[in-house]
Amino acid sequence: MKKERISVIIPVFNEERFIKDLLWTINKQSYPLDKIEVIIIDGGSKDSTISLIEDMSKELNYKLITLHNEKKIPVSALNIGLKYAQGEIIIRLDAHSNYEFQYIEKIVYQLTNSKEYCNVGGVAKAVGYDKISNAIAAVLNSPIGVGGAKFRYAKEPIETDTLFPGAWWKEDLVKIKGWNEEWIVNEDMELNIRLKKETKKKIVIIPDIKLEYYPRNSFGKLLRQYYRYGYWRNKTSNKHAESMRLSHIIPPFFIITLIALPLLKLNHLLVGLSLFYLLTIIFFAIKLKDKNNSLFHIIISIMITHFSWGIGAIHGYMKFGIPFKGFWKVFKTVFLSKVRFNKIS
């Protein structure tokens, strides 16, 4: 059977903590290494990322290319990688992740054995590496923290609207002109929406394809991350109304409600709503608690993901406009129909 050529593209910036393990993991992949090229696109790292890559390059059994990303944003790096890629299949890897040794083989098998798939990925399980990241990881592995992001916790093969990191046919990416660089964040969702429209194919999560994701290890970094997610997600919802989900609406409207109630002198409702919310997250935090994290850190992590995403979304409303078409789409889906993601047999 023919083995397709694979181009692995990896945007990096200051990844000295993770880059060596990632490159060695690729070197141990079960897929033929002579069919793999790895393209690292660096956004101007100030640490030892580049020197570590150079030191390792002679010990690796695959083709390794290092390119420079002058714009310093991941979406630009992805397009640079796509431009230089020689493989028929493009696989994106994230430097903050760990991949099983069969990862590339499994993902290529799924993509090449179904003409219905335009993007294939696995479940990205968050794995902590210190006290705070352990708590953040527990939250990111749960619907209470990531809402409808099924690529974080899917238990069976399922069709979805996006996933991370992903694997595509190069010809499909070229056809839609790659990633849209107007999206500094949420570029994966925006690309996948256009990809599904153009190819008429499916994006699928296969839980048997396993990867581990290393989350932020400070509450400040988590706050900035989810604020940006909420802000840029609204840009996507304005352009692609069909991408909006109920989980995108709840956080900003919850915050707006908390602000509006005291202005309307409905303080008793404010107290009741706040108490209900607090008890709810404590309930979920107790379920997520284990020996590697603390209840307090989990509660804080949940609240940060909710409030920072919601505030970011509100800022997005002011910047990009209110996505009324997206709201109507969610209303019809939730209350007027029984539309849901399809299981993949």
Which residues is 204 bridged to in the sheet?
120, 159
Domains identified in the chain and CATH numbers: 1-97 (3.90.550.10), 235-336 (no CATH)
In this predicted structure, what is the pLDDT of residue 153?
67
Secondary structure (3-state) at 273? helix
DSSP-assigned letter for residue 333: I
> How many CA atoms, within 13 angstroms, populate the side-chain half-sphere of residue 325?
11
Residues in CB range of 324: below 8 A, 6 or more apart:
none
**pLDDT tens-digit map of 221-255:** 999 999 999 999 999 999 999 999 999 999 999 99
Supply the DSSP symbol for 33.
G
Q: Which residue reads 């109630």 in tokens? A: 261
The reported pLDDT for the residue numbered 102 is 97
pTM of the model: 0.90
What is d(CA 169, CA 107) in angstroms, rounded to the nearest whole number? 12
**CA terminus-to-terminus distance, the chain:** 24
The whole-angstrom separation of Cα 221 and Cα 137 is 13
- What is the structure's pLDDT at 345? 47
Q: Give the per-residue pLDDT at 249.
A: 94
Residues of the chain with pLDDT under 70: 1, 147-151, 153, 337-345
In single-letter form, the type of residue at position 47 comes to: D
Tokens at 64, concatenated: 């390794």
Separation of alpha carbons 265 and 268, rounded Å: 8
Q: Are 320 and 234 in contact (CB under 8 A)?
A: yes
pLDDT at 150: 67
Distance in angstroms (rounded) separating the CA atoms of residues 89 and 73: 23
Give the DSSP H or E segment for 258.
Answer: helix 246-263
What is the 3 state secondary structure string of 205-251? EEEEEEEEECCCCCHHHHHHHHHHHHHHHHHHHHHCHHHCCHHHHHH
Residue 197 contacts residue 212 (beta carbons within 8 Å): no
Question: What tokens does 260 get?
Answer: 């509006």
pLDDT of residue 114: 87
Residue-level pLDDT at 8: 98
What lies within 8 Å, CB to CB, of 246 at 6+ separation is: 148, 330, 333, 334
